[in-house]
Structure 1
Amino acid sequence: MPRILIADDEDSMRALVARAIGMDGHDIVTAQDGAEALEILIREQGAFDLLLTDIQMPVMDGIALALSAARDFPRLTILLMTGFADQRERASNLNAIAHDVITKPFSVADIRAAVADALAAGKAE
């Protein structure tokens, strides 16, 4: 069963995403921001199959989190989420470390498909 770490500062979005991808039987852990997510990654020694993170968050944004996670846990697959076009542009420079960027708002089917795709790509590497 894949383990997924979700980082999003919006409680409702974090809960929606956790419920949506939990329907596929994944083991879900959530964090309120990038700093908390990084603490969890370090504490659990990167024992996740996927990091699903919002880009725009307080304390530590998703790009800083993705850069730290990719440096410390290079086998971790990273999927970014954003509702802002300028943030998507910032993320385009991360193609080497991030599998994809999914744009908010998305449907339950969209996030489930994006996660399945990212997990499949992570296994292929």
Structure 2
Amino acid sequence: MSINGVSTDISTRYLYGDGTSASTGSLGGNGFMHDVPAANSTANTFSNTSYYFANYRSSRPKSFNQEVTNENNGSSTYMMLQAGLWNPSTNGAISTITLTATDSSNFLQNSSATLYGISAGNDSTTVVS
């Protein structure tokens, strides 16, 4: 994932569990930790990832949290919680979010993404309908 074309300048703390073990840690640089099954993943694999960015219109650094659940056709599953700070060298409002599959292949047919909290309108830069 990248924000405004930037996928670096991110620092995070995470909690990860897979049903048999748990771990914690921190990530720097490109700190978004997610695993979205791509078109070449095992059949019938599903994932849910939710991001929340506080003050997305602010020109200040953005704090965020992320929740991820993923399963692999019944053979494995995990959940991850992450909190972080996105602090790019040039701060500004979030105007673009680019999602990418784990291995940079395509998303499967019928995959979806939903953006909440944005009202319809036009600010001469971004159009939301």
Q: Under TM normalisation by the shorter chain, which class is it? A: under 0.3
* Greater fraction strand: 2
State the TM-score, normalized to the length of structure 1: 0.22
Query: Whose Rg is larger?
Result: 2
- 1 or 2, which has the higher helix percentage? 1
Q: Using CA pairs below 8 Å that are at least 6 residues apart, which structure has the higher relative contact order?
A: 2
